Amino acid sequence: MIDFNALVRPHILGLKPYNTARDDYSGKIGIFLDANENSLGSAVTDSYNRYPDPHQVELKAKVAAMQGVTPEQVFLGSGSDEVIDLLIRVFCEPGRDKIMVLSPTYGMYAVCAAANNVSVVEIPLTESFTINTQQTLENAADVKLLFLCSPNNPTGNCLPQSEIAEILKNFAGIVVLDEAYIDFAPGRSWLPRLSSYPNLVIMQTFSKAWGLANLRLGMACANPAIVNFLSWIKYPYNISGLTQELALKALKNEPAKEQMVALILAERKKLEKELAGLPIVQKVYPSDANFLLVKFNNSPSVFEFLIGQRIIVRDRSHAAHCDNCLRITVGTSEENKILIAKLKEFDSR
């Protein structure tokens, strides 16, 4: 059993969430004079003058069905970035509680912690980017939230299943498993095991495989108690009506996502081979995501050259164990060809 009384910030346990106008009357038909909307319509079209469903009932039902969980186990955020911030605000008392990250990893965990005056315990991954499990657990005594990112950004690899299991078994706080890139690593999600771990939160997003980064829609699947805490403190209408509408449309077209994932994986394989064959490249790290971490002989000069060619990649050379590394998103077939051609041009200068 998990003791939420000991984990959740005390004032959150007693919080009374905002009661929206839509909570008092859930019918769809009527004369709505309760929410101070513009009854006449919108400046652009007449569809957006009403506040959206604050509980996202229809979308949550569809997401739950897709994920093989119940709607009570689903929280939807304005991107998974919102979920990260809300988790910190639910569990971490500013100036006292801590989160843990395994570096190098996604930067927003530490940024959200800093914004909330919550300190970060940073444990390095091994040189091959797996978990230092013993060191992680030994340093986790005062930690409320432990962030694991698998596949990890920027390294691209999935963390070993056995090490994740070990951490789940031995860590007394909440394990947040960020699976933003999981669609590119079929069969590796922890969702099928979610119900066995009351202290596990699994985050996924519509921003990557679904191709909907612009909509800002992230999901957290977790114990219903955790979902409730997040719901209590979120902004009432955190997911716009347009986002809910378009996400529902996308969910009806899962084969389109699968097709894009297959193409991206095929392109990643080609790109990996081409990059590994370049003399300016020291190493292409194995990837389970839609990007590659690449170690160059001299990454700053490659980065600058590519910018000059209007090819923008991500400089990750200052991250732990990542010296001379650039993170390169798999592009379209055409974009990848241009990238390789330009890197060959750089090499022959």
Contact footprint for ligand PLP (CB under 6 A):
79-81, 106, 149, 153, 178, 180, 205, 207, 213, 218
Residue closer to ligand PLP, measured from CB, 79 or 173: 79
Rounded to a whole number of angstroms, the minimum distance from the CB of residue 20 to ligand PLP is 24
Residue closer to ligand PLP, measured from CB, 205 or 299: 205
Q: What are phi and psi of 166, to 5 degrees?
A: -60, -40
User: Half-sphere exposure (CA, 13 Å, Cβ side) for 147?
Assistant: 35
CA distance 244 to 62: 11
Rounded to a whole number of angstroms, the minimum distance from the CB of residue 219 to ligand PLP is 9
Residue closer to ligand PLP, measured from CB, 181 or 229: 181
> Among residues 319, 309, 32, 284, which one has the least CA distance to residue 157?
284
Rounded to a whole number of angstroms, the minimum distance from the CB of residue 122 to ligand PLP is 16
Residue closer to ligand PLP, measured from CB, 164 or 343: 164
Q: What are the b/e assignments for 125-156, b being 16+ CB within 10 Å?
A: beeebbbebeebbeebeebbbbbbbbbbbbbb
Q: What is the dihedral of CA 266, 267, 270, 273, to 10 degrees?
A: -110
Neighbouring CB atoms inside 10 A of 14's CB total 6
Residue closer to ligand PLP, measured from CB, 104 or 218: 218
Residue closer to ligand PLP, measured from CB, 73 or 153: 153
Inter-residue contact 122 to 140 (CB < 8 Å): no
Rounded to a whole number of angstroms, the minimum distance from the CB of residue 179 to ligand PLP is 8
Closest residue to ligand PLP, based on beta-carbon distance: 79
Rounded to a whole number of angstroms, the minimum distance from the CB of residue 42 to ligand PLP is 26
Q: How far is CA 217 from CA 37, 76, 265, in A?
A: 24, 7, 23
Rounded to a whole number of angstroms, the minimum distance from the CB of residue 288 to ligand PLP is 12
